[in-house]
Structures are given as C-alpha cells and as structure tokens.
Copies of this chain bind each other. A is one copy, B any other.
Amino acid sequence: MSHISIIDDEVDIVVGALQPDLSSFMEEWKPIFSRFHLIIVKDPDLKEDLKIPDGFNMDLYTKSDIDRVMGSSSTAISFSGYSCRYFGYLMSRKKYVICFDDDCVPARDSNGCIIDAVSQHIANLATPATPFFFNTLYDPYREGTDFVRGYPFSLRNGVDCGLSCGLWLNLADYDAPTQVLKPDLRNVRYVDAVLTVPSRTMMPVSGINIGVNTELVGPAMLPAFQLVKEGKIRWETVEDIWSGMCVKVVCDHLRLGVKSGLPYVWRKERGDAIESLRKEWDGVKLMEDVVPFFQSVRLSKEAVTAEDCVAEIAASVKEKLGPVNPVFARAADTMVEWTKIWKRVRRPSKVQRQ
C-alpha cells in the first residue's frame, strides 16, 4: 500500500456526532486520524456542547452552519441523527471521504495492534474493482493473489471503485428484530478478504464504516430515506441502506465498482433493541418494497454522471414507490433537492465555508 502516503491530503474523515463526548472515540482513533483532515458534524438535535480532545486537524460543523449553508433552499432535507454526516460530505472538498459511526473504535489484530481502517478503505478505493466476473480468490489486486484460471484477460484491468464498505466486529449491524431474538449474538469472525460486489447485485450497505470516492459517486450519498419515527440508534435507521442502493445502481450504470469486506472496526454496545422494537418496525417492512425497486430500476444512456443517475432514480422512485407510502415520495423530493444543493455547494467556486 505504498500509494497511501501520496493521497493523505485527498482524504477527509467524516464523523457524525450523535453523542456529546467524543473523547474516548477520538483518543482511540488518534494514531490513525492524526494523519488526516477531519470533518465533524454535530447532530442538530444534540443540545449539549461537544467534548472533543485537542490535537486534530479538523473542522466542526453545527446546526448554525447547516442553517447558513442550506439557507431557505432546504425544505425537504433533514440532517437529523445519523443523517448529519451527509452535511460533512457536502462540506468536504476531497476526493475520498471515509466515515465511521461514533460508537466504533479501531479493531485490533491478533497481536493487539490496531488495524488502520482508513488505509484499507483508501486501498480499496484506489485499486480497481471487478464487478463483471467473480474472482473466487477475492480481490485479485491484493498482494499475494491474482486472477484465477478462467478469468478473461480482457476483464483483468477492472474498473474504478466508487464505494468501499467495511464490516464490524463485536456488535454486528443487525436489525432490531434480530437483536431482540439473538441478544448475545456477537460477530467474532475476522474474514480476511475484500471482494467486489458483482454488477446488478443489490446489497444492504451499512453506513457504519465506509469509504467513498466523492468525485465518482458523491451526489448519490444522500440523506433521503428517513423514517417518520427514526431514532438515534443504527438499527432504527435505513438512510444508509437506501443511500447505498442508490450508489450501487449508479455504479452499475456507470460501470464502477463497490467493494465489501475489510476493514473491520470494533463496534461498541449502544441502544436497547427491545425498546427499538416497540418504537418502530417500519424500516424492516419497507425493505420489502425498496429492494425489488432497486433491483429492477434501469437508467437511460443519457445519465452519464452520478447527478444524472440520482435524478433518474428519484423520478422512478416517485412514479413506482410514491403511491405505496408517503415516505418514498418524500425521499424522491429530497433526492432531487440534494442534487441541486450538491451542485451549488460542492462546486469550489461557490463554497461557503468558515
């Protein structure tokens, strides 16, 4: 991974702060984060002052920044809860954005050394992806491996990677019903692999631990799908699942790749699954409509950028899913608005940044 040092300044780490005290989170990540620029976005619903240790190269954004940048243009978009991170994507000017939930710390290898999840995401994003044919030995670009017999040489150059999806040890990313049924289930198995999720295969992207090439797919990472009673616990949300399927459809259409596997982070305990179940089942139910939709949506050849693709997906959401549930119509409106804001704010000449 000799290329890593070259692109340190092309990376922003984005963290959405849903809890006020980030001290232990930041200290545990310090050996890794200290090389990079950080963007921390405070959940606009969070009242307490943030507690963040010194010694980081960072920008902090709060509700007042969000209000100022969005101005009166924002009618549909909410940056509440886990969605606050998307404001960080908007503010970043870097090619790569790496994002971790604030209840995750670096995982450790069998020697107790912390695993550099940022470098792994960058390696995933900076090396090609292979979405058009499955390599049984996983990532063929990893040192010590290659394409297996039968892999067409014409496909061995691969394509650019748009999204890197990392995993979690300890508390896995299950939904509330699974958490309730298996309260003691912990993910202890470290699978030492990265693979490209094949083209036209949909997947549930978790936002807990991801890396994004914002130049390729940035506008498709969006806070569009918010449940009416969305909470502040991961398993009460589906914004990242929706956003991930948008990115996957965009990548499939633009012939880009999505990788899954390494790096792992260590996910701490947070939340009460039984309490969540009492509150909300909508996310689980809605997936029965969401998945078939994204599996079948097809974009026109006129869609040549991520913005174009998001606009077409939004139109299709409105038409196909809109009548099913008002949450889908709202998502479609938000997607359209997001592409406009992305163009206005993300364009360097129009940056309004403190």
Taking Cβ atoms with an 8 Å cutoff, the residues of A that contact B are: 132-138, 144-155, 165, 167, 172-175, 178, 182, 185-193, 195, 197-206, 234-235, 238, 241, 244, 260, 284, 287-288, 291, 295
Copies in the complex: 2
Q: Distance (Å) between the CB of A135 and the closest chain B CB?
A: 8
B146 to A201, Cβ gap below 8 A? no
* Residue from B133, B135, B175, B187 within 8 A of A149 (CB atoms): B175
* Residue from B133, B175, B203 within 8 A of A202 (CB atoms): B133
Q: Distance (Å) between the CB of A1 and the closest chain B CB?
A: 16
Complex interface: chain B residues within 8 A of A260 (CB): 134, 136
Complex interface: chain B residues within 8 A of A195 (CB): 195
B204 to A151, Cβ gap below 8 A? yes
Complex interface: chain B residues within 8 A of A197 (CB): 134, 198
Q: Distance (Å) between the CB of A175 and the closest chain B CB?
A: 4
A148 to B173, Cβ gap below 8 A? yes
**CA A300 – CA B96 in complex, angstroms?**
45
* Residue from B145, B147, B185, B238 within 8 A of A150 (CB atoms): B238
Which secondary structure dominates chain A's binding surface?
A: loop
Q: Distance (Å) between the CB of A239 and the closest chain B CB?
A: 11
* Residue from B135, B149, B173, B235 within 8 A of A234 (CB atoms): B149
Q: Distance (Å) between the CB of A202 and the closest chain B CB?
A: 6
- Nearest neighbor of A150 in chain B, beta-carbon distance: B204
A201 in contact with B201 given A175-B150, A178-B146 (CB within 8 Å): yes
**CA A235 – CA B146 in complex, angstroms?**
14
* Residue from B193, B200, B291 within 8 A of A152 (CB atoms): B291
**CA A217 – CA B153 in complex, angstroms?**
29
A189 to B189, Cβ gap below 8 A? no
B144 to A188, Cβ gap below 8 A? yes
Complex interface: chain B residues within 8 A of A234 (CB): 149
A149 to B241, Cβ gap below 8 A? yes
Q: Distance (Å) between the CB of A278 and the closest chain B CB?
A: 18
A288 in contact with B152 given A134-B260, A178-B146, A201-B198 (CB within 8 Å): yes
A288 to B148, Cβ gap below 8 A? no
**CA A170 – CA B270 in complex, angstroms?**
42
Complex interface: chain B residues within 8 A of A203 (CB): 133-136
A-B contact pairs, 20 of them (CB 8 A): A133-B202, A134-B197, A135-B203, A144-B188, A146-B178, A146-B185, A147-B178, A148-B175, A148-B206, A149-B174, A149-B175, A149-B204, A149-B234, A149-B235, A149-B241, A152-B288, A154-B288, A155-B291, A198-B200, A198-B201
> 6 closest A-B pairs (Cβ-Cβ)?
A150-B204, A150-B241, A198-B201, A134-B203, A149-B175, A191-B193
A144 to B189, Cβ gap below 8 A? yes
**CA A317 – CA B202 in complex, angstroms?**
29
Q: Distance (Å) between the CB of A214 and the closest chain B CB?
A: 22
